[in-house]
C-alpha cells in the first residue's frame, strides 16, 4: 500500500522529470514538500523497491520507471487547464468555416505537434457513407491511362494505370461505362465485392480482353479502398529529434520507422470510448515512447487521433488538448467534405 506521502513524492518526481528531463534529487523534493532530506531519501528507496522509481546511471537522483509513469497516469495525474495561447490557436481552426472536416482535423494535429513538440497522427478519416459517384479515364501516351475516381464526399483519386498495347481504347471505354452504370452509388468499402460478383460476369460479354481490364480496375479500386480506410496524416514526424532523451540517431531512426506501422497504433486495445494512454511497452511500438489516442465519429466519418512522445511526455496537457479537440469536432457536424 502506497502512503499519501509516497504519492506526493512520486508525483513531484514524475512532474519535475517531465519538465526538466533531469533526475530529481531529494533536496529538490524537500523544498517542495517541506520534509527532511533523510525522510525523503528513505521514501525514495521504498518507491524504488516498488519499481516505481529507478536510478539514473549518469547522475544522482531518481527518475520514474515505466511502472511509475503508469501509476502516475492512473492515480496521480489531474486535468491541466489549457493556456490561453493554446486555446486561441485551436479556436482559430475550429472557427474557420472555409475548412472541411478533414482539413480541420489535420490542422488541429499540426498545432498540437507544434505546441508540444510531439508527433501527432490522424488515422482513417474515411466515411462509412462515402459512395462512388463517378469513374473517368483520360488516355495518356503509349499504353497508359489516367483513372479518376470521385466519391459523393468530394474525395478524388488519380492513378495511372498500365495496359497492354493490345487492349483497344473502345474496350476501355466500355469497361468504364459498365462500372459507372453498375457500381455508382455503392459504398466505397463495397466496390471491390460488387466488381467481383456483379460486374465481372457481365463485362466478359461486352469486352474482348475483359480479364486484363477487370483486373486492372479491380486492383485500382482495392488500393483506393485501402487508402481510404488506412490513410495516415502526420504532424511533426521528426519531433523526436527535439527530445533530449533521443540524441542517438540510430534510436531515432528506429522509432521513426515504427511510425510507418500504423496498424500497431490503430489496433492498440481501447479501454473505453474516451482518451486512452499507453506507456512504453504498452504501445507495442517501442519501450521508449508513450501514445495518447482517441477516436472520433462525425456524421459517419470516423478515425483516430494519436499523440506520440517520449515516456516523459506531458500526459495531463496532451489529454486536455485531445479532449478539447474531440469536443470541438462534434461542432463540425454538417461541414461539407
Task: Tell me: do 301 and 249 sit in the same domain.
Answer: yes
| For residue 81, pLDDT beyond 80 | yes
Phi, psi of 261 (to 5 degrees): -85, 75
Residue 125 or residue 185, greater confidence: 185
| For residue 314, pLDDT beyond 50 | yes
* 320 in a structural domain: yes
Predicted pLDDT at 56? 76
Task: Tell me: do 71 and 144 sit in the same domain.
Answer: no
* 125 in a structural domain: no
Q: Check which CATH number belongs to the domain holding 16 and give it.
A: 1.10.10.10
Task: Tell me: do 153 and 110 sit in the same domain.
Answer: no
* 223 in a structural domain: yes
* Strands, sheet with 132-139, edge to edge from the N-terminal-most edge strand: 132-139, 144-151, 156-162
**23-68 residue pLDDT tens:** 999 888 998 888 888 899 999 999 999 999 998 776 778 999 999 9
- Of the ranges 64-78, 139-153, 161-175, 271-285, the best mean pLDDT one: 64-78
What gap in Å lies between CA 208 and CA 291, rounded to an integer?
53
Task: Tell me: do 222 and 137 sit in the same domain.
Answer: yes
* 127 in a structural domain: no
Predicted pLDDT at 224? 72
- Of the ranges 111-120, 300-309, 323-332, the best mean pLDDT one: 111-120
Task: Tell me: do 97 and 45 sit in the same domain.
Answer: no
215 with 203: CB under 8 angstroms?
A: no
Cross-strand bridge partners of residue 151? 132
What gap in Å lies between CA 123 and CA 119, rounded to an integer?
13
Q: Check which CATH number belongs to the domain holding 270 and give it.
A: 3.30.450.40
Task: Tell me: do 219 and 276 sit in the same domain.
Answer: no
Number of domains comprising the chain: 3
3-state SS assignment for residue 312 = coil
What gap in Å lies between CA 284 and CA 258, rounded to an integer?
10
At residue 297 the predicted structure's pLDDT band, cuts being 50, 70 and 90, is confident
Q: Which of 167, 200, 230 is the last residue of a domain?
A: 230
* 26 in a structural domain: yes
The DSSP-derived string for 68-119 is HHHHIIIII----PPPHHHHHHHHHHHT-TTS-HHHHHHHHHHHHHHHH-SE
The CA dihedral of 204, 206, 212, 215, to the nearest 10 degrees, is -60
Q: Which of 205, 230, 255 is the last residue of a domain?
A: 230
The DSSP-derived string for 265-282 is HHTSPPSSSSEEEEEGGG
Residue 46 or residue 126, greater confidence: 46
Strands 275-279 and 289-298: what pairing? antiparallel
C-alpha angle 108/113/116, rounded to 5°? Answer: 120
Task: Tell me: do 12 and 146 sit in the same domain.
Answer: no
Residue 256 or residue 154, greater confidence: 256
* 337 in a structural domain: no
The CA dihedral of 244, 249, 254, 256, to the nearest 10 degrees, is 70
At residue 116 the predicted structure's pLDDT band, cuts being 50, 70 and 90, is very high
For residues 247-254, average pLDDT: 76
**186-235 residue pLDDT tens:** 887 788 888 888 888 888 888 887 888 888 888 887 777 666 555 677 88
Q: Identify which of 120, 108, 118, 79 has the alpha carbon closest to the alpha carbon of residue 317.
A: 79
Residue 255, H or E segment: helix 249-259
Predicted pLDDT at 125? 59
| % residues pLDDT > 90 (the chain) | 32
Residues near 202 by beta carbon (within 8 Å), at least 6 away in sequence: 178, 182
9 with 40: CB under 8 angstroms?
A: yes
Task: Tell me: do 254 and 302 sit in the same domain.
Answer: yes
Q: Exposed, middle or buried by CB within 10 Å (0-12, 13-18, 19+), for 135?
A: buried
* 194 in a structural domain: yes
What gap in Å lies between CA 126 and CA 123, rounded to an integer?
9
Residue 157 or residue 117, greater confidence: 117
Q: Which of 183, 209, 230 is the last residue of a domain?
A: 230
Cell of 222: 482495392
| For residue 301, pLDDT beyond 90 | no
Task: Tell me: do 152 and 206 sit in the same domain.
Answer: yes
The residue segments making up the domain with residue 61 are 4-76
Predicted pLDDT at 337? 46
| For residue 257, pLDDT beyond 80 | no
Task: Tell me: do 261 and 198 sit in the same domain.
Answer: no
227 with 124: CB under 8 angstroms?
A: no
Task: Tell me: do 241 and 222 sit in the same domain.
Answer: no
Rg (Cα) of the chain, in Å, rounded?
26
Predicted pLDDT at 63? 94
The DSSP-derived string for 182-219 is HHTT-BGGGHHHHIIIIIHHHHTTT-TTHHHHHHHHHH
Predicted pLDDT at 336? 47
Predicted pLDDT at 148? 85
Q: Check which CATH number belongs to the domain holding 141 and give it.
A: 3.30.390.10
Task: Tell me: do 156 and 219 sit in the same domain.
Answer: yes
pTM of the model: 0.69
* 283 in a structural domain: yes
For residues 132-143, average pLDDT: 84
Amino acid at each position: 500500500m502506497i502512503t499519501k506521502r509516497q504519492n506526493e513524492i512520486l508525483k513531484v518526481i514524475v512532474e519535475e522529470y517531465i519538465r526538466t528531463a533531469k533526475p530529481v534529487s531529494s533536496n529538490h523534493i524537500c523544498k517542495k514538500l517541506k520534509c527532511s532530506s533523510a525522510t525523503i531519501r528513505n521514501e525514495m528507496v521504498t518507491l524504488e523497491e516498488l519499481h516505481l522509481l529507478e536510478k539514473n546511471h549518469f547522475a544522482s537522483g531518481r527518475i520514474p520507471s515505466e511502472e511509475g509513469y503508469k501509476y502516475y497516469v492512473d492515480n496521480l495525474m489531474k486535468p491541466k487547464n489549457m493556456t490561453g495561447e493554446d486555446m486561441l490557436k485551436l479556436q482559430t481552426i475550429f472557427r474557420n468555416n472555409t475548412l472541411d472536416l478533414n482539413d480541420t482535423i489535420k490542422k488541429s494535429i499540426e498545432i498540437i505537434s507544434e505546441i508540444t513538440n510531439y508527433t501527432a497522427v490522424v488515422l482513417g478519416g474515411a466515411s462509412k457513407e462515402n459512395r462512388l459517384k463517378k469513374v473517368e479515364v483520360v488516355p495518356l501516351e503509349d499504353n497508359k491511362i489516367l483513372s479518376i475516381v470521385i466519391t459523393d464526399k468530394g474525395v478524388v483519386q488519380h492513378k495511372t494505370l498500365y495496359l497492354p498495347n493490345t487492349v483497344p481504347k473502345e474496350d476501355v471505354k466500355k469497361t468504364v461505362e459498365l462500372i459507372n452504370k453498375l457500381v455508382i452509388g455503392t459504398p466505397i468499402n463495397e466496390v471491390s465485392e460488387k466488381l467481383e460478383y456483379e460486374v465481372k460476369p457481365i463485362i466478359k460479354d461486352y469486352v474482348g480482353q475483359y480479364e486484363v481490364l477487370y483486373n486492372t480496375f479491380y486492383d485500382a479500386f482495392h488500393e483506393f479502398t485501402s487508402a481510404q480506410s488506412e490513410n495516415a496524416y502526420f504532424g511533426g514526424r521528426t519531433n523526436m529529434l527535439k527530445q533530449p532523451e533521443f540524441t542517438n540517431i540510430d534510436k531515432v531512426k528506429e522509432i521513426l520507422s515504427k511510425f510507418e506501422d500504423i496498424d500497431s497504433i490503430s489496433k492498440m486495445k481501447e479501454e473505453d470510448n474516451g482518451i486512452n494512454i499507453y506507456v512504453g511497452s504498452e504501445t507495442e511500438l517501442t519501450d521508449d515512447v508513450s501514445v495518447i489516442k482517441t477516436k472520433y465519429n462525425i456524421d459517419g466519418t470516423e478515425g483516430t487521433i494519436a499523440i506520440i512522445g517520449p515516456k516523459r511526455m506531458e500526459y495531463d496537457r496532451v489529454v486536455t488538448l485531445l479532449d478539447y479537440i474531440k469536443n470541438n469536432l462534434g461542432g463540425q457536424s454538417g461541414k461539407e467534405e
